[in-house]
Structure 1
Amino acid sequence: MQTTDTGLLFQSSQQLADASTRERKIVAAEKVGNPIKVTSKVLDLVVRGQDAWTAESGWQARRLDLNILYKGHKGPVTSVRLHQVGGQRPWLALITSSWDKTIRIWDADSGQLVHTLEAHSDFVKSTTVLPTVPPMLLSTSSDKSFRLWDLSPLTEKGIPVSRQVVKEHTRPVDSAAYALCEEEPSIMLVWTADSMGVLKEWKISHLPTGTYPLTFVRDLPGHETSIAGLARTDDGLWSTRLHGTTPVILQHPSYVKSILPNPNGLPYIVTGSEDEDIRVWDAATLDGDHNQPVAIVSGHCGEVSALVTWIKDAGGKKEVIIVSAGLDATLRRWSIDDLLNPVPLNYEPVKPNSGATMTEEEERELAELMSDED
């Protein structure tokens, strides 16, 4: 009798052991981090007040608690952003981007689709709302470009206008960040990063009236591989490296997928990695490239794709919570104490059976598959 599970054919003992270990880890992590389960991989996350919005691989964005789904994209949703629209009738806009090459703007409260922007000729990788006057949206794409969109028409629910297209990167543009220039408050600095680790700095001059065009300033020391995300703090610009007077490198055993510097002003750096762990670093002791995390937190069973701060309000009592999102289709909620004093997952990894041999039935199945006979 032949097996109907084709996934078991030609798998090594190591692969079978890894699959069994993963099953045990999923069971052990079932309640770790107070998880919220969704239906597809979480690629991006925004928390505002007591609600969370997710960008998911299942072609949708989601509002948790109220459980509103924003359906319409025809590919994985890569980013979610919130923008408070002013005017005589203020409303909250949810801005999403997708592999379907579009940006979509929704009424965040009703879930109604307001506009679809035919944005780029390839995947839209990220969106960033710049607090200029008028407000601008910066979208980055796998088509090696990024765009500036004027969001001011949204006050009357009109269509945002593309104001500038920049094609200075030679690889897909993955992420962006911004900050006001400390020396000249009339200047906004913007950074864009691509899949080859190239990091470029731009500026917008004469704020608040001159919101475009962006002008190139310089290339910054980059990385050997893709820069998955950028975050700006008072200390500098974080990717995996802090670009300031002294570079600070946080070494990880695998790709860094998310970073949260100084959550709510606390002296920690929180990072999420492809190896499925969250790491906590003491920001006050960072020095060069010889840094070690103060805690390594296991719980996710997929890479940690996003980290955000949530100020939990429980009957007037406020608490800082770190919300992590993962490709295991969960959000997990951690207090600072949870992260600094992690509870080990209680499961035993499965060792491969190095001496395993095929049964007579397995040998027969293999012979049939390798046969040239019809």
Structure 2
Amino acid sequence: MRLKRLHIRYYPPGIILDYEKGGQERSRCIDLLHLTPDTDVNEVLSEIRRIEPLITDSRTDQVKVLIKRLQDKLSQPDERSFYLFKVLQAHILPLTNVAFNKSGSSFITGSYDRTCKIWDTVSGEELHTLEGHRNVVYAIAFNNPYGDKIATGSFDKTCKLWSAETGKCFYTFRGHTAEIVCVTFNPQSTLVATGSMDTTAKLWDVESGNEVSTLAGHSAEIISLSFNTVGNRLVTGSFDHTLTLWDVPSGRRLHTMIAHRGEISSVHFNWDCSLIVSASMDKSCKVWDAESGQCLATLIGHDDEVLDVCFNYTGQLIATASADGTSRIFNAETFQCVCKLEGHEGEISKVCFNPQGTRVLTASADRTARVWSVNSGSCLQVLEGHTDEIFSCAFNYEGDTIITGSKDNTCRIWR
């Protein structure tokens, strides 16, 4: 093995190694999830040297510089205020979802008008309209980090794979017998996973367009799915109150996780693939061991259904969104509630962290989105102007742009 290049990854902090093995170029990453501006650089360096044989004496100074650059990025103050940059009359019917590509240079919107649109973030210009579905385009996804393909899942029971550059449709994936309500790419961009009201999930090959496997076992619709970062595991969350962990290469069911007493609304892996979090209509979230499928903790406190949940990039924090109009932040190691975010006047359907993990963004039926401080739990900004409920919101990778999607048929860019 021969090391060729070293890169930096800001969110979550890490160093990427490009190396040659057997005449082939490969890459792997050293995650530095616990790095802070105060971490001893020499200690980090010696730990990297201990676990990574590619980092030899001749490379230590270079690695040291990269660690310091990561620390500099982490120590930058986050005092940004967002202003309304553009209002896009995006669709002729309400939006269903919004999503950024990795760089944040473009984003996509899905709609009840049966289309998905690709937008340029800087100009607000519509780049392409993806037409062909015969019913609501409900689930949309970029194949991040690459960002050159888009998957759309529709109530017409099909999923389509598109070129993000040209808007051309590569494949239409047929096989589900009911509406598709969730879709995601694996991190390697070789597979698309779809979840459907027909109680199954399916895996599709991006290259050939063929169905790879059908994941059957749930007894009600699959509402959420998530790959781990390695791409060898998929978790599905269902209205049958359970989660299922699947082995991706074989399509085999590894664990059925039973503990919730209501429908599942959202499931996610953390970055290092050790934990899974689930949100449920039973007013709670649960944290699970991703290897054994055991329930480690129940996150309680909400007075109504929990509609969304997510980890921050490093996997140390969990944010929840509830129909009770509040959001909560939990420590993912102690499972304690760190702060409660109060101020919305309607249910919160979507929550996400900025890449830095210093801010939380919430979208609500009260027609506003809010930006919150993770440290204090205080509301830093109310993003107002939509005339109907906001049900989708996202930060870009740098954390300096927000998009909000609303039932008022518009999408707003905030910078």
> Judging changes above 3 Å, is the alpha-carbon distance between structure 1 residues 102 and 34 closer, same or farther for their aligned structure 2 residues?
farther
- 2:140 matches 1:80: yes
> Judging changes above 3 Å, is the alpha-carbon distance between structure 1 residues 167 and 117 closer, same or farther for their aligned structure 2 residues?
same
- 2:291 matches 1:242: no
**By how many angstroms is 1:103 displaced?**
0.9
Between structures 1 and 2, the one with greater strand share? 2
The one-letter amino acid paired with 1:151 is V
**By how many angstroms is 1:93 displaced?**
0.8
* RMSD (CA atoms): 3.6
**By how many angstroms is 1:95 displaced?**
0.7
> Judging changes above 3 Å, is the alpha-carbon distance between structure 1 residues 274 and 76 closer, same or farther for their aligned structure 2 residues?
farther
Residue of structure 1 equivalent to 2:252: 215
Alpha-carbon distance between aligned partners in 2 of 1:67 and 1:145, rounded to the nearest angstrom: 37
The one-letter amino acid paired with 1:286 is F
Q: Is the 8 Å Cα contact of residues 281 and 295 (structure 1) preserved in structure 2?
A: no
**By how many angstroms is 1:294 displaced?**
0.9
Alpha-carbon distance between aligned partners in 1 of 2:338 and 2:357, rounded to the nearest angstrom: 23
- Structure number, greater radius of gyration: 1
- TM-score under structure 1 normalisation? 0.62
Alpha-carbon distance between aligned partners in 1 of 2:276 and 2:343, rounded to the nearest angstrom: 27
Q: Is the 8 Å Cα contact of residues 372 and 380 (structure 2) preserved in structure 1?
A: no
> Judging changes above 3 Å, is the alpha-carbon distance between structure 1 residues 107 and 321 closer, same or farther for their aligned structure 2 residues?
farther
1:202 maps to which of 246, 258, 261: 246
> Judging changes above 3 Å, is the alpha-carbon distance between structure 1 residues 231 and 145 closer, same or farther for their aligned structure 2 residues?
same
**By how many angstroms is 1:57 displaced?**
4.0
> Judging changes above 3 Å, is the alpha-carbon distance between structure 1 residues 114 and 337 closer, same or farther for their aligned structure 2 residues?
same
2:103 maps to which of 17, 28, 49: 49
Residue of structure 2 equivalent to 1:354: none
2:216 maps to which of 167, 187, 202: 167
**By how many angstroms is 1:344 displaced?**
9.8
**By how many angstroms is 1:117 displaced?**
2.6
**By how many angstroms is 1:214 displaced?**
0.8
Alpha-carbon distance between aligned partners in 2 of 1:243 and 1:61, rounded to the nearest angstrom: 34
- 2:193 matches 1:138: yes
**By how many angstroms is 1:130 displaced?**
2.1
Q: Is the 8 Å Cα contact of residues 298 and 344 (structure 1) preserved in structure 2?
A: no
The one-letter amino acid paired with 1:219 is T
Q: Is the 8 Å Cα contact of residues 348 and 364 (structure 2) preserved in structure 1?
A: yes
Alpha-carbon distance between aligned partners in 2 of 1:336 and 1:72, rounded to the nearest angstrom: 42
The one-letter amino acid paired with 2:133 is H
Residue of structure 1 equivalent to 2:178: 122
Show structure 2 runs of 5+ residues with no match: 1-80, 279-284, 383-415
Q: Is the 8 Å Cα contact of residues 202 and 213 (structure 2) preserved in structure 1?
A: yes
**By how many angstroms is 1:77 displaced?**
2.5
Q: Is the 8 Å Cα contact of residues 43 and 306 (structure 1) preserved in structure 2?
A: no
The one-letter amino acid paired with 1:241 is K
- TM-score under structure 2 normalisation? 0.57
Show structure 1 runs of 5+ residues with no match: 1-31, 154-159, 205-210, 312-317, 346-374
1:342 maps to which of 357, 367, 379: 379
**By how many angstroms is 1:122 displaced?**
0.6
**By how many angstroms is 1:110 displaced?**
3.8
Residue of structure 2 equivalent to 1:6: none
> Judging changes above 3 Å, is the alpha-carbon distance between structure 1 residues 217 and 81 closer, same or farther for their aligned structure 2 residues?
same
Alpha-carbon distance between aligned partners in 1 of 2:343 and 2:319, rounded to the nearest angstrom: 13
Q: Is the 8 Å Cα contact of residues 45 and 325 (structure 1) preserved in structure 2?
A: no
**By how many angstroms is 1:300 displaced?**
7.3
1:294 maps to which of 334, 339, 357: 339
Identity %: 16
Where do 1:358-369 residues align within 5 Å? none
Q: Is the 8 Å Cα contact of residues 267 and 276 (structure 2) preserved in structure 1?
A: yes
Residue by residue over 1:50-105, the C-alpha shift from the partner in whole angstroms, topping out at 9 and shown as x without a partner, is: 2433334443334452443444433333222112698xxxx711111121212122
Alpha-carbon distance between aligned partners in 1 of 2:322 and 2:181, rounded to the nearest angstrom: 19
Alpha-carbon distance between aligned partners in 2 of 1:126 and 1:77, rounded to the nearest angstrom: 10
Residue of structure 2 equivalent to 1:104: 160
**By how many angstroms is 1:41 displaced?**
5.0
Q: Is the 8 Å Cα contact of residues 232 and 247 (structure 2) preserved in structure 1?
A: yes
The one-letter amino acid paired with 2:286 is R
Q: What is the number of equivalent residue pairs in this alignment?
A: 278
Between structures 1 and 2, the one with greater helix share? 1
